Amino acid sequence: MANLPRLVGVFALVLALVLVVAAAIPLLASPGGDANPRPQNPASFQPANIVPQDLGQNGSVSIDAGSDEKVVLIDRAHDNDFEREEIEPMVDALVAQGYEVRFHGGGGPGGAPRSAGPGSSSPLNSSLRDADAFVVISPDRPFTDAAQRGIADFAERGGRVALLGEPTSPSPAITSIFGPAPRSTATSQMTPLSSRFGMSLSTGYLYNMYENGNNFQNVYATASGDGPLTAGVDRVLFDRATEVAVGGDASVAVSATDRTALSTTRQQGRYPVAAVNDNVVLIGDTSFLTPANYQYADNEVLIGNLAEFLVSGEKEPKPKPTTERPGVPPRPGQPRPPSGGALPTNGSTPPTPVAP
Amino acid sequence: MSADNRAGGTATWVYVAVAVAAVLIGLFLAPQAMRLTQGAGQDTPDSVAVVPVEGPITSSTADQISANLREVRRNDSIKAVVLDVNSPGGTVPASEALYLAVNRTTAAGIPVVASVNGQGASGAYWAMTPASRIYVTPGSIVGSVGVIGTQPAGGAAGSRIITGPDKGAGGTQAEFRDRVELLRRQFVTTVMNERGDRLELSREELSYAKVYAGAVAERNGVADEIGGIDAAIQRAAENADLENYAVTRMDAPEQPGLGLILGSQEAGRNDSGTRTVVVEQSPFDYEGVETPRYLALYGMPEQGEVRTDG
């Protein structure tokens, strides 16, 4: 029995040894978790899954029209919201073909004279007299009634008119460094003019969440019908387009692709973006003219077609102003108001019946 | 002699028997011993960690939250994580870094549950998408899956000389657009992949970058369940098979230059009561240098040329 303490000692020693080893295991087995982190490669971080497609830019503007001497007049007198460099591709192509490009108003060497001699009370109308085509881009100031009638008469006599506008609601996609405030308050002054030709611009912008040029506001549009704008145009890309409403004799020339939506209604559809009514076209976008955008898709073809449209008109010379116009009998009991009366008149341009 | 041998032999046998008995008893008691030491080095045997994701997500706050998650992965007593989210998002690089940190935590086998308290929008939503469940309250705001790019005007002016046409702005407007589009695709693809079948919105619907009230988000799959932080903690514990657990709240990220931010908030408070969120102070701001920024943020920056996508 003398061995009993020794036996107890051995028992305690072995037991303690086992428990110490057991207790030490958790301490030894925690090597600090992240020592060898597994490399991560989520699918959404793979370039192949997320790099957007290259839209591709190529082509140049070409004009296939006669070599007659033609003058294209571009409006700068109505706070038009564009810089000259923004329409360079079209202007360069026109000039390269030998056509003359003039700017009306806005000052500078290209500006038209403020007054063009006796018998003219409207600088615009006197500028139009020497022009074969007239281009209006994003006017922020309204056209006077006389100017509107002058333009309508100009188109009536075979002069070509191109009206280009943008959505007037502020763009959510791009705002300038000074914010959208100045632009957002400006109301489009295009519709009062274009509605004379059965066309008008919407205020909202078009967007497409399904098929776009790497931004929801860069919408694609395709040609409709056989109008003067659509030859050779398969698909064009508009950076900031709006809907063109078409009525009367006007017909749709270019429509946005399926599932394009209008910002104001959020309704999807095939919205017209360009329309033609005889000698007048209305396009609900100006961005496709810019040097940055003109080579996307078939934009350069559309610009070429637009330029051809402008220089291929045959304008009749203006008839001498008379007190009684042939074909427009004065209404009985309603004499024409004298010059300088309540209604603004254009001394050289007789009033034109309002188109539908 | 023989008596000694017999006595010695008996003694050896007894010693061996006693040792074997001690080993057996030791093995029986070993789990208790292991549990003792497991708890000894730490506060509690098992716990659910609550990791706050608060305020704008900047590189600084993302680093702090990522460090908390690293601690979660390192500490064996922490069995599950609840992200306590109240953030409008922040910069894209910080948001995707935070996403990777959460993603790594779930990849390490630690259940992660998110609880939105207030708003969990844009970059904050991006970061929490790896969570197995997203809890929202009916009035909390989640979503805003989109990106805002801000870019300084480029080009040379005055006496400034740059060595290339894109040194100022970093690229053309089209390249800027494509870059923002890439980030949108990354964000949307992440949400689609992480939420999977639970999401009832298409890529296009998600790309509208709408925010959703919790009650709506629970229906369209942007979130999973209505409930507060306690429901989220309980769910996290269940996912980790914990019956008895403690809750450890980690430190909330500290916003750098707090005084500056508070000052900006006061200065940015306008009549309509909106608050200016300082996303990231540019280190060059004092010299008037603008740098391009890509934000996964619910709200619009006050200055700078902005392109949104999604």
Question: What pLDDT score was predicted for residue B171?
Answer: 86
List of chain A residues whose C-beta atoms are within 8 Å of the C-beta of residue B73:
33-34
pLDDT of res. A8? 86
Q: What is the mean pLDDT of residues B177-202?
A: 94
Distance from CA of A302 to the nearest CA of B (A): 20
Distance CA A91, CA A290 (A): 11
Q: Chain B 81-110, CB below 8 Å of chain A: which residues? A: 96, 100, 103-104, 107-108
Which residue from A27, A38, A177 is facing B305, i.e. has the nearest CB?
A: A177
Cβ separation B107–A50 shorter than 8 A:
no
CA distances for A107 relative to A72, A75, A79, A104, A111, angstroms: 17, 11, 12, 8, 5
Residue B173's pLDDT band, with cuts at 50, 70 and 90, is: confident
At B62 the pLDDT is 95
Least confidently predicted of A189-203, B67-81, B117-131, B284-298: B284-298
CA distances from B102 to A308, B58, B187, B252 (A): 60, 16, 15, 16
Q: Taking the CA atoms of chain B, what radius of gyration do you get in angstroms?
A: 28
Please count the other Cβ atoms lying within 10 Å of the Cβ belonging to residue A348. Answer: 21
Measured between CB atoms, does B303 come within 8 Å of chain A? yes
Rounded percentage of chain B residues whose pLDDT exceeds 90: 59
The answer to whether B309 touches A216, Cβ cutoff 8 Å, is yes
Instruction: Give, in order, the Cα–Cα distances in Å from A290 to each of A18, A107, A127, A170, A183.
Output: 83, 22, 25, 20, 19
Contact A355, A196 (CB under 8 A): yes
Contact criterion met (CB < 8 Å) for A175 and B306? yes
What's the pTM? 0.76
pLDDT category at B38 given cuts 50, 70, 90 is low
User: Chain A contact for B306, CB < 8 A?
Assistant: yes
Express as a percent the part of chain B with pLDDT over 70: 77
Can you tell me which residue has the tokens 């494509």?
B178
Residue B213: per-residue pLDDT: 96
Per CB-CB distance under 8 Å, the chain A contacts of B7 are none
Would the ipTM clear 0.90, i.e. be above it?
no
**Domains in chain B: ranges and CATH:** 40-267+287-309 (3.90.226.10)
The answer to whether A19 contacts chain B (CB < 8 Å) is yes
Question: What does the pLDDT read at residue B44?
Answer: 54
Architecture of domain A71-311: 3-Layer(aba) Sandwich (3.40)
Q: pLDDT per position in chain A (356 positions), as tens?
A: 557 788 888 888 888 888 888 877 766 655 444 544 555 668 888 888 889 988 888 899 988 877 788 999 999 999 898 999 999 999 999 999 999 999 998 754 444 444 433 444 578 888 899 999 999 999 988 999 999 999 999 999 999 999 999 887 666 666 544 444 344 334 478 989 999 999 999 999 999 999 999 999 999 999 988 889 999 999 999 999 999 999 989 999 999 999 999 999 999 999 999 999 999 999 999 999 999 999 999 999 999 999 999 999 988 877 766 554 444 444 444 444 443 333 333 333 333 343 33
Angstroms from A87 CA to nearest CA on chain B: 17
CB B152 within 8 A of CB B166: no
Token pair of B295 as six digits: 């934000």
**Residue A176 is nearest to which of B26, B185, B305, comparing CB atoms?**
B305
Which residue of chain B has the CA closest to A7?
Answer: B15
Phi and psi based region of residue B227 (left: phi greater than 0; alpha: psi -120 to 50; beta: remaining): left
